[in-house]
Amino acid sequence: MKSSARFVALALVGVFAVAAGLARACTSIVVSRGASKDGSVMITYSADAPFMPRLLRVPGGTHPKGATADVRGWEQDDVRGQVRQAERTYTVVGLMNEYQLSLGETTTGGRRELVDRKGLLDYDALMMLALQRAKTAREAIATIDALCKEYGYGSSGETISIADKDEAWIMELIGKGPGVKGVVWVAARVPEGYITAHANMSRITTFPLDDPNNWLYAADVVQFAVDKGFYKPASGKPFSYRDAYHPDQSVSQKRACAGRVWSVYRRSAPSRNLTDAYFRGADGVEDYPLFVKPDALLSVADVMALMRDHFEGTPYDMTKGVDAGPFCSPLRVRDLAFNVDGKKYMWERPISTQQAGFVVVTQSRKQLPDAVGGVTWFTPDEASTSCFTPLYCAIDALPEPYAKGDYRRFSMDSAWWVANLVSNLAYDRWSRVIPDIQQARGEQEGALLKMQTVIEDAAAKLAATDEKLMRAFLTNYSVSTGEAVHRRWVDLAGEILTKHVDGYVKDEKGRAQAAGYDPEWLKRVVNERGSTLELPPDRKPTETDH
């Protein structure tokens, strides 16, 4: 008997991106329970690729012995193959299951010769399988390892964020090459009171081999590297996972990847005064620490704010300079690298980027029942121009606008398309439009964050007496709030179009006012094109000059 399951979730951007020949680039922050204000274990995940995600809920259940499940790719109807179905699977909403286990990822690439394109499981299907079969972070690590050994791994190197209600981990893995099943991997537990971040670049270097409470690894992670010639014990150097399996440490990679880690750390732990030298490619400079203790405990709102970063307040502030244009926009269209007169240049790559398909911040909390403690704060499109909405891990339905849409066709019924409309209305007139977005977001998210304790207190009380009613209560709340956020963003798009029209900005009475340009930008224009714009000194503007 065959049990068909869609092994797809919000994080399945990799398959789509590979099919389209496009780069995958994501950002993830991991916060230990002791580093959060409310005892949450948190992870973030910005899935950055040109695609339109549809929020999915995969129900769990019991399955007959010998059942199989279809393995499918992102928005693809073709079946990659089948895997043995577990006798018991768990419900998954987004990238969190009913036991508060959540996952995120960033693609790190690594040695190309270790990719097995015939491996059945790409990282997207692998993550969903782990969420369906594991209750804890350690179980997820073991499940990922076992599945790759049985079915083969088809993606390149990955760093996976793993959080349950007690622990936070990052797991780095890479395949063993064409025709060889299994992965070589290492997993690090984030110490209590600390955070970490990863952004498309391997983060784990040397690690202890005798600390199973905090470090787990494949039995052959060192020997495999020795056999392949990736590591030579005779060198006298300690084994480094990154040096063995991700030797590309180019300046461009550091600029695109390590800069995001630096920006998370410089905002969370400013007292560390971590230099920008490593991510700028300076020689002989050490990488940023794997773990950092934040100067203050982080709230959910703090972590959301970290995902909205464009290097503001640094020399690399993307809302400053000639490249930001007259309206101080952080938008930098692809490609990141470009040539001018034979020289190579590169735009900054921020945490918050226009190519984000969705962003999540997940909370797992041991002090609450699983159905109440596990919540995914989800937003389609990029975080800086959109609004997070809460989705509890055991809900029975999804807000409809988040579960529909087509990347090829605009629709006001799709939450992703509406969020994308708002962001695109902002990019070309950022300094004028972003205050309107920030105000709407502050009101909406602020209300939801204030309501969170009230909703969860009520749900926790229901859980003690009527679990079915509790689930209905959280489902209704998650669905109604998601739909409300969608409606608010539909209204916001109309408000922006109405207020910012034809280069004017309407005042509170609806009268169009000429907003002009930033004086500093006008100086740049004059320096470059002044001779073609200057009025002759003997000519006075007339009333017909507009």
Least confident of 11-15, 188-192, 379-383: 11-15
* Sheet hosting strand 504-506, strand order edge to edge: 500-501, 504-506, 512-514
Note the pLDDT of residue 249. Answer: 85
Distance from C-alpha of 470 to C-alpha of 462, rounded to nearest angstrom:
5
Distance of CA 499 to the CA centre of its chain: 31
Per-residue pLDDT of 292-306, as tens digits, reads 999 999 999 999 999
How much of the chain, in percent, has pLDDT values that exceed 70?
93
DSSP 8-class letter at 189 = E
Q: Is the separation of the CB atoms in 171 and 141 below 8 Å?
A: yes
Distance from C-alpha of 53 to C-alpha of 356, rounded to nearest angstrom:
10
Note the pLDDT of residue 2. Answer: 38
pLDDT (mean) for 55-62: 94
Least confident of 36-45, 118-127, 141-150, 223-232: 118-127
* Degrees to nearest 5, angle at CA 53 with 156 and 406: 125
Grade residue 544 by pLDDT with cuts at 50, 70 and 90: low
Least confident of 189-198, 350-359, 533-542: 533-542
Note the pLDDT of residue 248. Answer: 85
Decide if pLDDT at 188 tops 90: yes
Grade residue 537 by pLDDT with cuts at 50, 70 and 90: confident
pLDDT (mean) for 375-404: 97
Grade residue 73 by pLDDT with cuts at 50, 70 and 90: low
Residue that the structure tokens 């790409």 belong to = 122
Distance from C-alpha of 206 to C-alpha of 225, rounded to nearest angstrom:
14
pLDDT (mean) for 219-224: 98
Distance from C-alpha of 410 to C-alpha of 303, rounded to nearest angstrom:
31
pLDDT (mean) for 309-323: 96
Grade residue 145 by pLDDT with cuts at 50, 70 and 90: very high
Q: How would you classify the pairing of strands 337-340 and 57-58?
A: unpaired
Note the pLDDT of residue 539. Answer: 58
Note the pLDDT of residue 536. Answer: 85
Grade residue 541 by pLDDT with cuts at 50, 70 and 90: low
Per-residue pLDDT of 460-517, as tens digits, reads 999 999 999 999 999 999 999 999 999 999 999 999 999 999 999 999 999 999 999 9
| Burial (CB count within 10 angstroms: exposed 0-12, middle 13-18, buried 19+), residue 286 | exposed
pLDDT (mean) for 196-217: 98
Who contacts 410 (Cβ-Cβ below 8 Å, separation ≥6)?
417, 421
Q: Is 500 helix (H, G, I), strand (E, B) or coil?
A: strand
Which stretch of DSSP H or E encloses residue 439? Answer: helix 430-465
pLDDT (mean) for 315-344: 95
Note the pLDDT of residue 546. Answer: 59
pTM flag (> 0.85)? yes
Who contacts 47 (Cβ-Cβ below 8 Å, separation ≥6)?
10, 11, 13, 26, 53, 356, 357, 358, 359
What's phi and psi for 513, nearest 5 deg? -120, 135
Distance from C-alpha of 425 to C-alpha of 241, rounded to nearest angstrom:
44
User: Which carries the bigger pLDDT value, residue 22 or residue 356?
Assistant: 356
Grade residue 11 by pLDDT with cuts at 50, 70 and 90: very low
Distance from C-alpha of 345 to C-alpha of 343, rounded to nearest angstrom:
7
Q: Is 469 helix (H, G, I), strand (E, B) or coil?
A: helix
Q: Is the separation of the CB atoms in 97 and 129 below 8 Å?
A: no
Grade residue 545 by pLDDT with cuts at 50, 70 and 90: low
Who contacts 533 (Cβ-Cβ below 8 Å, separation ≥6)?
525, 526
Q: Is the separation of the CB atoms in 225 and 244 below 8 Å?
A: yes
Per-residue pLDDT of 247-275, as tens digits, reads 988 999 999 999 999 999 999 999 999 99
Distance of CA 296 to the CA centre of its chain: 23
Q: Is 438 helix (H, G, I), strand (E, B) or coil?
A: helix
DSSP alpha helix (H) spans, 247-365: 251-253, 259-268, 300-306
CB neighbours of residue 341 within 10 Å: 4
What's phi and psi for 409, nearest 5 deg? -145, 120
Distance from C-alpha of 86 to C-alpha of 64, rounded to nearest angstrom:
9
Note the pLDDT of residue 150. Answer: 97
| Tokens describing residue 434 | 């972003």
Q: Taking the domains of the chain in order of start, what are their residue ranges? A: 13-309, 368-506
Note the pLDDT of residue 1. Answer: 38
Note the pLDDT of residue 212. Answer: 97
Which stretch of DSSP H or E encloses residue 88? Answer: strand 88-89
pLDDT (mean) for 79-92: 94
Q: Is the separation of the CB atoms in 366 and 165 below 8 Å?
A: yes
Q: How much of the chain is in helix, strand and coil states, percent to nearest 5? A: 35, 20, 45
DSSP 8-class letter at 257 = I
Summary mean pLDDT of the chain: 92
Q: Is the separation of the CB atoms in 363 and 40 below 8 Å?
A: yes
DSSP 8-class letter at 333 = P
